[in-house]
Structure 1
């Protein structure tokens, strides 16, 4: 049965500054932690493609924004790079600010709404060397950065976001240690997550102060974007499986949902952390800061569900408490290139959770996409990549979004990640997500894939077709 989306449902692209801009030495830009890692060990990056490249959005932003418009997209999200906007003394870098003003103006000229995020895992190295998110001084530096951004662009930007996926950096850089500098310390992961929560709340406070002082337009909104992987366990769970589900959902999902809707962290999670002597350092006044963290709306990044069960061992290989083990669902359909389960119904389940547990908070799907390796295999005689697998992926997710809206979810829009192929951390260009191909050997030339033509019509008609 054909599904339709509401006529006021917005449809656009998800991007980030560090993954698209390139031009890492221009505008007096500072070094980021990704540049540092690239400089120290370029072989850690797929095909030795480090952080320097992006997809050259810095040079091609005008053409790229026009390209989004040609696909009927009405909005896109990107991020300001802290390293480009501010100098080492925390003052506005005029060349960096000018670049973002040009991008914002170009979007306006093309009737495309720009959604601006402040942080996408790209901390300046000089601050990381001070301890990064482990250091409260860096939390304060982020609040200052947010304040400067709000005052510089507040009259131009309607939609702001404090963080993209604030759960990822505590996991990847601190708990699992797969990102430089490869820390494997569960306690540090919790400490960092706690401090990022403080940073978010302080930034929201700076937003409202700037609004009261007239720096920000009256219709502006502030939000948070996170990858809320809906959690599932076995069909006939034991009490231990359900306990694993509770704590993992609490740390990864409810932690942020309670913060942005109620202005506090989930008490049951804090009690469990206390039980295992894993509470972060809590200072007098922190609870008052968290009360400032409520937002206007939420971005929901969705790629895959989280399937978990009770842990078989109490401790992991690093001697840390294990709250759960992965559970492999026998019926799982996998994206073999990324190792992620494809489960479109997860979007619906999240929408129903929001309707039931957080009914006053509207949201949009802020990222959703399918990364595939060696896409050149699917090129036809005319040279166009025939990515029917991506069309199927998007179609099924949009159908579940439409059903969620029909059943009362307050889902306002959809941003596909990343529309134009982009650099993706230490995976670089290994898995391509775009509806538009980027030719790395030919000046980053853009070329539409089959999925781009398909989505162009879906956006125009708001009808989900084969």
Structure 2
């Protein structure tokens, strides 16, 4: 049966990207980031040797891009503010008036175009000089971040609709300290735990500073969250799922929303001597300064099972000591990214937030489908006909609609991403945008999905075969 799925009034329709992935260096002055340094030293680690110098050149084309936002149905959009651009002297020192002018112009243009600015303060883009001082392992870097955040609140507080301290803070911990996909490519869980704790502390301290300014906006965090499913209801599979969930979901969700740390995770870290160090007052600051709004990034579920093999205890401590990933037969895949497509997971995630996190005001802050070689789908007019992306969006949003009907406090949906943007070490291998990008000319062309997105936004919903829901 086909039904019109109508979303709540004033629902946030939009998308998201980050400064490092979209702006390009520009002429404002900017400190070298960890990504720019890593690309300079190991360009072979980046797909087709493409680095972040130009990316989508948004810094020079933002007025054109904002018009494209309007043409693709945006009433909201998430940017990130570059720490390295705001403080070009290595992320510290004097604030940069050219950067302030750029961001004020960008945010003003968005507001005047009817697009609510959502501003994120950190999206993996540590200034390299601060990484050399210890990065998130360093309390001095935490204080530098709070200075940066406070400066942004003061300079842009009249223009930003909602603020976010971090996007996917788990990502740099996994990439930098466990899985070798972020600079500085260390494998040391205890150092990662320290960096993770200090990130949580930085989040709380930034919120503490924000509250003193009495702005009308709210502040929160954006987390990448995957519902964790055990292979079976066997007690050992369920225990494996519980531990995996503690490491990968509750580790940041609990302290950043509830102000507490997951008991099971703390027990494990103490048992294996992996606890971070902290000062007596830190836990009080974390408890008293929690998120007012929550962004949910959902791409794939996590499926685990009890370990079948013994761990080499002479190797580095890792979460996988306690579980193995389960490759479920018959799962649907995005073969380009290697991720499972499981639409029901976004519903289960929303229900978890409703039931276990006070039904905090939330929105889907990222969800999307990266596809390689999209030029295969060009029509004679030069437009990419990406019906697969339209179906992906509708299938996930149908479950978001169901979650809202079931009482979940979900107020928006932001796709990843707006215009095809640079994707860290994958560069432009997979394209995610509603708008295609010609890398040589920087020409932007709205895809079929961008036309669909505008229609969906105008109608505040879409028609859907609801029998597909389970």
Bin of the TM-score, shorter chain as denominator length: over 0.9
On the 8 A contact 1:147/1:210 being kept in 2, the answer is no
On the 8 A contact 2:258/2:357 being kept in 1, the answer is no
Gaps of 5+ in 1: 212-216
Instruction: Quote the Cα distance in structure 1 between the aligned partners of 2:39 and 2:364.
Output: 31
On the 8 A contact 2:223/2:253 being kept in 1, the answer is no
Counterpart secondary structure, 1:226 = strand
Say whether 1:146 aligns with 2:143: no
The alignment's TM-score, normalised by the length of structure 1, stands at: 0.95
Gaps of 5+ in 2: 465-470
Count of aligned pairs: 457
Say whether 1:108 aligns with 2:111: yes
Instruction: Quote the Cα distance in structure 2 between the aligned partners of 1:96 and 1:313.
Output: 53
Instruction: Quote the Cα distance in structure 1 between the aligned partners of 2:315 and 2:334.
Output: 29
The alignment's TM-score, normalised by the length of structure 2, stands at: 0.94
Q: What pairs with 1:3-82 in structure 2 (closer than 5 Å)?
A: 3-23=5-25, 26-82=27-83
Aligned equivalent of 1:126: 129
Instruction: Quote the Cα distance in structure 2 between the aligned partners of 1:381 and 1:324.
Output: 50
Counterpart secondary structure, 2:103 = helix
Cα shift at 1:331: 2.4
Say whether 1:328 aligns with 2:331: no
Instruction: Quote the Cα distance in structure 2 between the aligned partners of 1:320 and 1:272.
Output: 11
Aligned equivalent of 2:200: 197
Q: What pairs with 1:235-314 in structure 2 (closer than 5 Å)?
A: 236-311=232-307, 312-314=309-311
The 3 A distance-change label for structure 1 pair 413 and 186 is: same
Say whether 1:223 aligns with 2:220: yes
Cα shift at 1:449: 1.0
On the 8 A contact 1:259/1:293 being kept in 2, the answer is no
Deviations 1:291-312 (A, max 9, x none): 2331111000111111111223
Moved over 6 A (4+): none
Cα shift at 1:426: 0.8
On the 8 A contact 1:334/1:340 being kept in 2, the answer is yes
Instruction: Quote the Cα distance in structure 1 between the aligned partners of 2:302 and 2:7.
Output: 27
The 3 A distance-change label for structure 1 pair 367 and 91 is: same
Deviations 1:253-274 (A, max 9, x none): 2222222332121222111211
Shifted more, 179-188 versus 418-427: the winner is 179-188
Deviations 1:58-103 (A, max 9, x none): 1111111111112221000010000001142432111111110110
Say whether 1:372 aligns with 2:371: yes
Shifted more, 366-375 versus 186-195: the winner is 186-195
Counterpart secondary structure, 1:183 = coil
Cα shift at 1:315: 4.0
Cα shift at 1:390: 0.6
Shifted more, 40-49 versus 3-12: the winner is 3-12
On the 8 A contact 2:438/2:444 being kept in 1, the answer is yes
Q: What pairs with 1:171-186 in structure 2 (closer than 5 Å)?
A: 171-186=174-189
Counterpart secondary structure, 1:114 = strand
Deviations 1:152-207 (A, max 9, x none): 11122231000000111000111112222221112222221111111111111111
Cα shift at 1:317: 8.7
Counterpart secondary structure, 1:28 = coil
Aligned equivalent of 1:214: none
Say whether 1:136 aligns with 2:136: no
Deviations 1:344-376 (A, max 9, x none): 111100111112112341110000100000111
Instruction: Quote the Cα distance in structure 2 between the aligned partners of 1:323 and 1:53.
Output: 42
On the 8 A contact 2:188/2:316 being kept in 1, the answer is no
On the 8 A contact 1:164/1:224 being kept in 2, the answer is yes
Q: What pairs with 1:390-429 in structure 2 (closer than 5 Å)?
A: 390-429=389-428
The 3 A distance-change label for structure 1 pair 313 and 52 is: farther
On the 8 A contact 1:21/1:55 being kept in 2, the answer is yes
Cα shift at 1:105: 0.8
Instruction: Quote the Cα distance in structure 2 between the aligned partners of 1:293 and 1:247.
Output: 26
Cα shift at 1:341: 0.4
Counterpart secondary structure, 1:38 = helix
Instruction: Quote the Cα distance in structure 2 between the aligned partners of 1:420 and 1:349.
Output: 29
Counterpart secondary structure, 2:180 = coil
Instruction: Quote the Cα distance in structure 2 between the aligned partners of 1:188 and 1:238.
Output: 34
The 3 A distance-change label for structure 1 pair 179 and 318 is: farther
